[in-house]
Homo-oligomer: A and B are copies of this chain.
Amino acid sequence: MKDINSDEMTRRLWLYDNIREIVARYGFQLVEPSTIENLETLEAKSGPAIRNEIYWFKDKSERDLGLRFDLTVGLTRMVTSRTDLPEPIKYASIGGNWRYDEPQFGRYRYFTQWDVEIFGSASPAADAEVICVGADIMQNIGLKNFKIRISNRRLTEAYLNQLGLTSGEKLDQTLRIIDKIRKVTPDELMKEFLAIGIEPANIEKILAFISINGSPVDVLQKLAEFEFQEEKAKIAIGELKLLADSLEAYGRTEICTYDLSIVRGIGYYDGIVFEGYDEAEEVGAVFGGGRYDGLCKIFGKRDIPATGVAGGVERLMISLEKANLFPRMKPAAKVFIATIQPDANLEAAKLAKQLRERNIPTQIDLKERSLSKQLAYVNASSIPYMIVLGRRELESRVVKIKKMSTREEIETTLDEVGSRIEQLE
């Protein structure tokens, strides 16, 4: 069970606000796809194999349903069912997803993603925009040392085609092995290539190809030396060139590396792909995405190009925690109104009402405790200010606001206590 306690929730809401601020700047609209999808929607791209990785069940009408495993599939289904929206359709979403898994460190059965998608643009300018959204989010939350590794799956496929890998299945297998490069040793990678029957000479070529990385300009230079003749490769390199120009215009060249080992694991990607890494902390990619022009038409209604970026909230929170970037937690209340005898309880409620109407987080005693026990609660809860209401205070209508950290007391009238507390830090 993954509960979110109050500290984590405060941090999450802060993070969500930061993400929403950035996506609003780019003109994305916040939406959320259904948590439950028809199983066939979830299987649309990846086939029935996905059943082993998701929660699925039958509803009362014996329809097969499943819990969403990402937001991209649902957002794509949403878009393809609408024909009234002007293109490009720019959607953003933050929401929970489920993975049918044994929980392990950093991986949960239930996890949250932020997700930003552009539907209806085939231009690398759109890829540049979603990459910049990722970069801006990292910057907005204070993560300074991050890098974005970028490639084009179309280019990798063209190169593999040239090596004779043309069949769909073997190509997919090869791409999935390449995707493991940062997770396994070179030996293991080699073994996996051999296991699917790739010749040693070709494995060497693949390893050399995917080891190419550097600044966009340098990598484009190296690619020019390959003198690709196939149309597919030329298109892919053209896209990387246009993307480099856009990233330069956005002032993001410095944090971007073209890295031909990037292919992304999920099958629906078919163009520019990228992954964002927090270089300070080795938690793996903090966001990733790319182009999936072929996904929309699988849903049958609309064939539109698409590109997007998504990131895991839990992983990002580990980075933020380690870098000490979360803002300081606020206590649950700013002031506690303590009462000396039960008679003052109703007066405490009246005063609380006044303070709450001024938006001052206020608590009163709900347990009919002694003053010393109320004081212990105030200290245990880190509530910074306390007012004690007793017969004397009610008769004189003069109260003291006690600052718990310094034991300082500010005397004021019952009528003015609200405006005084408002002014306090």
Contacts and interface: CB of A to CB of B under 8 A. Distances in A.
Interface stretch (A57-65, A255-263, A294-302): A57-65
A380 B250 CA distance: 27
A93 B110 CA distance: 17
Nearest to A23: B361
A361 B25 contact: yes
A349 B60 contact: no
A214 interface: no
Contacts of A2: 34
B34 A1 contact: yes
Contact of A3 (B25, B33, B129, B368): B33
A86 B349 contact: no
A323 interface: no
A318 interface: no
A36 to B, nearest CB: 6
Contacts of A377: 86-87
A364 interface: yes
Copies of this protein in the complex: 2
A128 B217 CA distance: 67
A28 B10 CA distance: 12
A324 interface: no
A27 B350 contact: no
Contact of A36 (B1, B60, B90, B381): B1
A359 B61 CA distance: 48
Interface string A15-30: 0000001001111111
Interface in A348-368: 349-350, 353, 356, 359-364, 366-368
Given A246-B346, A249-B353, A125 B366 contact: yes
Given A35-B96, A86-B377, A100-B60, A121 B27 contact: no
B368 A123 contact: yes
Nearest to A118: B366
Contacts of A36: 1, 98, 109-110
A3 B98 CA distance: 17
Most B CB atoms within 10 A — which of A38, A121, A363, A376?
Answer: A363
Contacts of A192: none
Interface string A145-182: 00000000000000000000000000000000000000
Contact of A74 (B3, B87, B109, B118): B3
B3 A31 contact: yes
A126 interface: yes
A32 B112 CA distance: 13
A170 to B, nearest CB: 30
B353 A102 contact: no
A87 B369 CA distance: 11
A9 interface: yes
A349 B26 CA distance: 11
Nearest to A329: B29
Interface string A298-333: 000000000000000000000000000000000011
Contacts of A32: 3-4, 9
B121 A28 contact: no
A367 B27 contact: no
Contacts of A126: 366
B1 A29 contact: no
Interface of A: 1-6, 9-10, 13, 21, 24-38, 55-57, 59-61, 74, 77-78, 86-88, 90-91, 96, 98, 100-102, 109-110, 118, 120-121, 123, 125-126, 128-129, 132, 136, 245-246, 248-251, 332-333, 345-347, 349-350, 353, 356, 359-364, 366-368, 376-377, 380-381, 383
7 contacts: A1-B36, A4-B32, A6-B30, A9-B29, A9-B30, A123-B366, A250-B353
